[in-house]
A and B are shown apart, each in its own frame.
Chain A
Amino acid sequence: MGKKQRAAAAAAPAPGPEEAESSTAPAAEPRLPVEVIYCGVCGWPLEYCEFGSTFTRCKEWLGAEHSELFDKYYSEDALAAKLGTISLEAQSKLEEDTAKKEAKAEARAEAELKKKMESQVVIKRVERTKRKHVTVISGLDKFGIDLKKAAKQFASKFATGASVSKVTAGATDDEIVVQGDVCYEILEMIEDGVGILKGVPADNVEIVEDKKKKGGN
């Protein structure tokens, strides 16, 4: 493992500083990077999946994607060897912890999904002057849509200005302002999931009309 790498490092003498200066000449080849396979579920190196919060899913993924590696990490021998110096007691505690963590993460993911499904996208028509309007769309970010890109898409689709405006100082509740009254077009776009506007359930979209208060000047 690490020791072996160390030995390898010692075996291949590091090029000295003289060589570095003449690196334009065919100098020493760069050492190739180690290819690390990361888990497709948790994104960690495969061997660390067991410490993550999605161990069961990681295992399934590995079994499906790299069945030969699955044996390396999860066969009986590997499991026995893995125990190493740790006591059985500590190991069982660790497993228990992992299971607990997993359950927790699952519950959290579920709650998040529920919340996401409950959140609303509001398309609002706001009156500017007399017969001019802007369309304000808020809540898109909750569905993981990049607001900047969405604004760009609206701008090119409707050939008008579209911008992301901050409602408060925080970055969480920004909205997109599109010039002109395009409420229904946008509603249609969201329903069809055009471009990057994917993953927004049509039921969660709402159109609101906001009349400018009379009076003033």
Chain B
Amino acid sequence: MFKKFSTATDISGSTPVKSSVQRQLRATILSQWKIEPETLESIWPKKEGLVHVKCREHISIYTVNSRPIFFQHFDSPLVPTLRILHQYPYILPKVQIDRGAIRFLLAGAHMMCPGLTSKGGWLPPAEEDLPGGTLVAIFAEGKEHAAGIGITKLSTEDMKKINKNVGVETVAYLGDDLWSVKSL
């Protein structure tokens, strides 16, 4: 999504968000991420106004103090930026790819099932099955921090069974153009 993104040409404008909409967004985040209200409060204090940065192709980035906090593509779930995810790694369910897949992830490729099901990869156990369309943090074998954020295309059980083709669609990854944007 952010493989090619330039702040000079792809942003069409930024506006402060209405407080009623902010309330809605807050509620959405609390329901979508595994985060306590207090922690959210420390990332995004109530007093600080949220700014909506509108970009090309229905991408909306939300910033607090001109620091990107989360973004959304059209009606997709709200996605935290990778920097936020690094600080609060528990807010999204985890999947892990093996070492061989890291360089593809860092080039922006979608994650294939074998990279997730192989020995270095990790998927939640059957009782914690994630359905398709879930936002996940993509961790990497032998690494401490997340390398990307994705949306599952299959449920994790299906990934284990089918073990072919795209399992997780990459939304943001380390080194994409959103990563290099530190303030908007």
Measuring CB to CB, which residues of chain A are less than 8 angstroms from any residue of chain B?
Answer: 1-3, 5-6, 8-9, 14-15, 19-20, 23, 27-31, 33-34, 36, 43-45, 47-48, 51-52, 81-86, 90, 94, 97, 171
Contact = CB atoms under 8 A, between A and B. Distances in A.
Contacts of A82: 99, 142
Contacts of A45: 86, 143-145, 174
Contacts, number: 102
10 contacts: A1-B144, A2-B96, A6-B94, A19-B37, A20-B30, A28-B36, A30-B38, A45-B143, A52-B175, A84-B120
The residue among A3, A27, A51, A171 with the most chain B CB atoms within 10 A of its own CB is A51
Given A1-B144, A45-B86, A48-B147, A86 B100 contact: yes
Contact of B99 (A2, A27, A85): A85
A97 B106 CA distance: 13
Interface residues of B, number: 40
Given A36-B87, A85-B119, A86-B120, A48 B34 contact: no
B118 interface: yes
Interface string B114-153: 0000111010000000000000010101111101000000
Given A2-B94, A8-B90, A44-B175, A81 B142 contact: yes
B5 interface: no
Contacts of A36: 86-87, 145
Interface of B: 8-9, 30, 34, 36-39, 41-43, 86-90, 94, 96, 98-100, 102-103, 106, 118-120, 122, 137, 139, 141-145, 147, 174-175, 179-180
B90 to A, nearest CB: 4
Contact of A14 (B8, B36, B102, B139): B36
Contact of A23 (B34, B37, B179): B37
Given A2-B139, A36-B87, A85 B118 contact: yes
B9 to A, nearest CB: 6
Given A1-B144, A5-B89, A20 B174 contact: no
Given A2-B139, A47-B145, A30 B89 contact: no
Contacts of B30: 20
A7 to B, nearest CB: 10
A49 to B, nearest CB: 11
Nearest to A42: B175
A36 B102 CA distance: 19
B41 A34 contact: no
A48 B174 contact: yes
A2 B141 CA distance: 10
A15 B88 contact: no
A52 to B, nearest CB: 7
B174 A44 contact: yes
A9 B86 contact: no
Contacts of B43: 33
Contacts of B175: 44, 52
A30 B99 CA distance: 33
